[in-house]
Amino acid sequence: MPFIEHDPTDMNSFKAYLKQSKRILALCGAGLSASSGLATFRGAGGLWKTHDAMSLATPNAFVKDPSLVWQFYSARRQAAFSAKPNPAHLALAALAVKNSDFITVTQNVDGLSPRAGHPPLQLQPVHGSLSTIKCTSVFCNYIQYDNYDMALTPALAPAPERSSNDAEAAPANIPVSDLPHCPKCTTGLLRPGVVWFGESLPAHVLSEIDEWMEDGPIELCLVIGTTGMVWPAAGYIGQCKEKGARVAIINMEIDDDPMLGGVEYADWLFKGDCAQILPQILEPVIGTMDQVKELLGDTDHFPAPTFQGGPFTETTSKESQGTGYY
């Protein structure tokens, strides 16, 4: 643990600093959505206990067995779309509404932040989104954003409850003809719009984050529910510190994981559920949760889908390789 002159668990000192902070960056991971009931990527259960989830998150896996990969991601889509944004998502959304100089860099792909009412221009999803689908054909540029259909084809419809005896049975072998196909070119297979191992992170997202960080000093960095060890996102903690930011870490595993990223930069360490802690520590700016809900209005809805027909371009560099984390 770093030496910290003040009590790193003192919410009052944090709140006092928050009230005078303008430019704030939040780096979020799977812990943000834990209270929404979503398992982490490596924690996928049920029939996926017998599969290495990381091995499914590659372009080669999709080429080799698109049926298996689509069933895995369809199950993840159904879990994410059935979940509800929790108070942590709402608190960050309210902070973004209150402060136009606040951005959230999220490693999550569950789509709960936009559903919480987080302003899209202040949300940077570095690993893509489960609600994005795109054509795999090199001759087609079709992309759909904010697709929250529970089943993209009848073959991917939610499975009935399994008994304990068959909960780990092998997934069905779905014919390619029954998997999601592109409505534009009609021949290409669709795939989830998430970043897989070996793929580059979205160039426009990285550029927007870099432009924001270069735009002036940064007062505060919130590291929320993430190990802070997945690059390049983890590098933002140190970059914020170099720009003058003080760092607050909110995580369930502060004492349990000595390698937790960002701890060496920490000014505050808040151990516990993000859904409980964030509304408390951000209250001086966002108000009570009743006020947050009044500010955000009805967030229990899905954003309208949008389409893109132009080229989907990415830049590939060693520093911007996808983690396949989701």
Binding residues: 135, 140, 182, 185
Residue identified by tokens 């904010």 is 146
Tell me the backbone φ, ψ of residue 69, rounded to 5 degrees.
Answer: -65, -45
The annotated binding site for Zn(2+) is made up of 135, 140, 182, 185
Tokens describing residue 275: 């859904």
Strand partners, 307: 144
Annotated active-site positions, please?
127
Q: Could you tell me if 194 and 151 are in contact, meaning their C-beta atoms sit under 8 angstroms apart? A: no
Tokens describing residue 57: 């998150």
Question: Closest Cα partner for 195 from 105, 112, 126?
Answer: 126
Q: Could you tell me if 52 and 43 are in contact, meaning their C-beta atoms sit under 8 angstroms apart? A: no
Q: Could you tell me if 323 and 127 are in contact, meaning their C-beta atoms sit under 8 angstroms apart? A: yes
Tell me the backbone φ, ψ of residue 221, rounded to 5 degrees.
Answer: -125, 125
Dihedral sign, Cα of residue 228, residue 233, residue 235, residue 238: negative
Task: Please tell me the distance from the alpha carbon of residue 326 to that of residue 137, in angstroms, as a whole number.
Answer: 22
Task: Please tell me the distance from the alpha carbon of residue 215 to that of residue 167, in angstroms, as a whole number.
Answer: 51
